[in-house]
Amino acid sequence: MLVEVRERIDAIDRQIQALIAERARWAHQVGKAKGPLKAAVDYYRPEREAQVLRQVLDRNDGPLSDEVLLRVFREIMSACLAQQEPLKVGYLGPEGTFSQQAMQKHFGHSAKGLPLASIEEVFQEVEAGHADFGVVPVENSGQGTIQSTLDMFLASPLKICGEVELAVHQHLLSRSGRLEDIERVYSHPMSLAQCKAWLRQHLPKAEKIPVASNAEAARRARGADDAAAIAGENAGHVYGLKTVAGPIEDRPDNATRFLVLGRELFPGSGHDRTSLLVYVRDQPGALYAVLSPFARHGVSMNRIESRPSHTGRWQYAFFIDVSGHVEDAAVASALAELGEYAADVRVLGAYPVALL
């Protein structure tokens, strides 16, 4: 029985391997008409990758989860690209940061990651062409927008050509798994903050004890019957703790969002987002007027964030994310009208919406 199953798996592996090699050869054909291409960056098309991965998800009827299957296909695409000089992607280092995770989630492990010391440096290295792309955090759901990232766009010519989301889920873990036993809750201060409302409602009397990391919290909770930890579910598996409740973060969409920076705009993938930088004169009703073209053309706005413009000439700069690609008719029409109301409009990027 075991031998037979293994022979079947071997046969499947032979077929998969032959198909991956064939895929790699075809991928190498893409764009050849454009002339001699040498590096992966010449072949990389984010809109196409997003389409391929969306098809993979649409087709998935098990047994593997969407998340696991996406990871495998991301690696296959990453491998096919790495036939040429691999993609070089700068990220906010050091190694082991969420930015590195986001980079690897988006580009796979056959891309070459470059840990950099600051968000500024990521912009610089991409601008100078030393990195093909960059990955920087732009939003922690706990802390809100990372202003310093947005501000970089005020002076940088770079384009946003992708976004990545890393989900962060918090669970309450304890040895017994019973809420009524808990008198102390250990966790990293950030995680305690993310679950503040839940704790106030369900454990108003428990002592909240900040520790260096959620793993440390789980280790402590393992040692006592009246203690619990707030940590990822994974820590529960590892430390033999039971889940008392989860996810317990106050914002159910708790995630960190990253932007992928590049030097050019890519075509639409069919499910995209456009990021705009809009300068508005300081006069009554100006912002309202600026937003009206989107409403008129049925373009939904996902985010708006005002910043001092630093130019002195205009009082305000607005970072606005809208649904759709800048080439889509509705977005293009809204942008054309926007020009009448705004002092200046820059398209920061148009890119596929993050998948998972």
* Nearer to a second copy among residue 129 and residue 270 (C-beta): 129
> Helix-strand-coil percent breakdown of the chain, rounded to 5?
40, 25, 30
Q: How many Å separate Cα 277 from the centre of its chain?
A: 20
> Can you tell me the distance from the alpha carbon of 189 to that of 30, in angstroms, rounded to the nearest whole number?
49
Binding-residue total with a second copy (CB under 8 A): 75
* Nearer to a second copy among residue 31 and residue 189 (C-beta): 31
* Nearer to a second copy among residue 50 and residue 320 (C-beta): 50
Whether 208 contacts 189, CB under 8 Å: no
Contacts 24+ apart (CB under 8 A), 103-107: 103/135, 103/164, 105/71, 105/74, 105/164, 105/166, 106/74, 106/135, 106/162, 106/164, 106/258, 106/260, 107/74, 107/78, 107/133
* Nearer to a second copy among residue 147 and residue 234 (C-beta): 234
Asked if 17 interacts with a second copy (CB under 8 A), we say yes
Beta carbon of residue 128, minimum distance to a second copy (angstroms, whole number): 8
Local structure of 289: helix, strand or coil: helix
Beta carbon of residue 3, minimum distance to a second copy (angstroms, whole number): 11
**In this structure, how many other beta carbons lie within 10 angstroms of the beta carbon of residue 33?**
7
**In this structure, how many other beta carbons lie within 10 angstroms of the beta carbon of residue 207?**
12
Beta carbon of residue 69, minimum distance to a second copy (angstroms, whole number): 7
Chain positions 38 to 67 lying near a second copy, rule: CB under 8 A, are 48, 52, 55-56, 59-65
Binder among 37, 54, 66, 85 for a second copy (CB under 8 A): 85
Site map (CB under 8 A) of a second copy, residues 267-296, x = contact: ------------------------------
Asked if 130 interacts with a second copy (CB under 8 A), we say yes
* Nearer to a second copy among residue 28 and residue 281 (C-beta): 28
Site map (CB under 8 A) of a second copy, residues 197-236, x = contact: ------------------x------------------xx-
